[in-house]
Structure formats: structure tokens, C-alpha cells
Amino acid sequence: MITTITHNHTSYTVDLSKPLDISILLRASKNNVNAWYIGAPNIEPVTDGKWIGKVSKGASTNFNNIYFNPHGHGTHTECVGHITPEFYSINDALTQFFFIAEVISVVPQKQGEDTIITKQHIASAITSASPEALVIRTLPNTKEKNNTQYSHTNWAYLTEEAAIYIRTLGIKHLLIDLPSVDKEKDEGKLVAHKAFWNYPQATRHQATITEMIYVKNTITDGMYLLNLQIASFENDASPSKPILYKTL
């Protein structure tokens, strides 16, 4: 299905029959991607006495409980409520779901014991004047991102200057293939989160951050239509399924 989207007086044609999924599958496995020092997700049937909610065990339906953490177990989208004492829900923050997005690839640089993504990395890679969303793929880009155990790895992160730059470009939705835009152990400073949301000076309540995506190497840098879907959780974050459609 071919359709045309207009944004800021520019028209983009996309084929909706060719979705590109950049989410990571959530599995009840120790091989599931993991961060923040928590155990693996758990998916198991409800039990009530001798009754087990599983067709292969005699039930009429499969009836599972699912235990997971959206921040630590896979692709998730979060709002400013992730860092505020007040409650803000992602279900209220994200009320539109289609955006013009640019995919960029960056090679984070070493800085002492850290690995950082700088303003210069972003400025050198972006080609669009006004994307609504920015999708950052870090290089090297391997399939292992789908099951990496990130805890205690000191992953790459955005500098505060880079996050401010992304905000000043007017980008409302930031997507990245790391567990966090911030350093793993930063004493709770969360400078990139705060800079992107402009918290607490003039908080951007409708802006979102999506972490732990995986952008396959077959997806080239450039402009896309992004469909950013979340589950209807009343929470600061929700598991999400971002889908790209290449512009023609």
C-alpha cells in the first residue's frame, strides 16, 4: 500500500506493506536482552491448585502471567515521568504515533574509561532540517544486541551537549540502541535525560525516549516514516514496537 505523508511542506511517499521492525523480542529466557541488574523475564501459566493454565496440561486455553521490567528487558518508550517525583504516564505523553524520522549511524568514541556519543557525532550524521524523530544506531552493529547482558558493562552514552543539541533541533522522539541515553553508573545525574526533556526548566512532556532498539544493517541511514506504538500502560514507560517505513 503506497501512501504520501506531508510534513513541513515536504512530501514523503512510503510503502506501508514493507514494515521494518526495530524492536527487540521479549522472551522468557536468560538470553533475553537485560540491563539494570535484574533477573530474566518470566512467562508462565496461571496455576490454581491442580489446574494449570496450559492447553498441553489439560486446560481449554493458554493463560499466562508475564513478569518483566520495561526498562531492563527490551525495547521500551518512556516519558519524563521516568525521572520526576510527580507521576506522568507514557500513555498520556504519547498520543500520536506516526512521525517523520531520520536514521543515523554513529561510532561512539573513547574518552578515558567511557565511550561517548557527542554533539559532533549527531551534527555530522543528520541530513534533515526538521525530523520529528531521530533513530540512533551505534557501530559496530551486531545481532548480539538482541541478547546482550548490559549490567556492569559501562555502555556508550550521549553527552549532555549532544542531548541538548538534539532537543534544539526540535526532535520530539529519540530512539537509541542502548539501555539508556545516560551513563550506566552516573550517581543518578541523568544529564542526557534531563537535557533532552529540558527538565525542570521548561519540561517537554510530549517528548519521548525509546531505548534498546535494534536497527538491522540492512536498514540504511536516511528518512523514514516511524510508527511508534506502545502498550496501554499507566506507567512512566511501556514496552514498545517502533516500526519504520522507508521513504521512496
Q: Is residue 103 part of a domain?
A: yes
Q: Tell me, what's the pLDDT at 240?
A: 98
**Rounded CA separation 77/52 (Å):** 33
Nine-digit cell string for 48: 490454581
Q: Is residue 51 part of a domain?
A: no
> Which CATH number goes with the domain that contains 225?
3.50.30.50
Q: Tell me, what's the pLDDT at 40?
A: 98
Q: Tell me, what's the pLDDT at 230?
A: 98
Q: Is residue 175 part of a domain?
A: yes
pLDDT per residue over 167-216, tens digit each? 999 999 999 999 999 999 999 999 999 999 999 999 999 999 999 999 99
Alpha helix ranges (H) inside 13-159: 90-93, 119-125
Statement: residue 9 has pLDDT above 90: no
Q: Is residue 87 part of a domain?
A: yes
Within a 13 Å sphere around the CA of 110, how many CA atoms are in the beta-carbon half?
2
**Rounded CA separation 70/107 (Å):** 26
Q: Is residue 49 part of a domain?
A: no
Return contacts of 4-10, CB within 8 angstroms, 24+ apart.
5/98, 5/100, 5/225, 7/100, 7/130, 7/132, 8/129, 8/130
pLDDT per residue over 94-126, tens digit each? 999 999 999 999 999 999 999 999 999 999 999
Host domain of residue 13: 2-24+74-246
Task: Identify the weakest region by mean pLDDT among 10-19, 55-64, 191-200.
Answer: 10-19
Number of domains comprising the chain: 1
Number of H helices, E strands in the chain: 4, 17
**Rounded CA separation 207/20 (Å):** 23
Q: Identify whether the C-beta of residue 115 lies closer than 8 Å to the C-beta of residue 153.
A: no
pLDDT per residue over 121-147, tens digit each? 999 999 988 899 999 999 999 999 999
Q: Is residue 63 part of a domain?
A: no
Cα–Cα nearest to 208, from 176, 173, 181, 247: 173
Nine-digit cell string for 235: 506507567
The mean predicted confidence, pLDDT, of the chain is 97
Nine-digit cell string for 215: 536497527
Q: Tell me, what's the pLDDT at 12?
A: 86
Q: Tell me, what's the pLDDT at 232?
A: 96
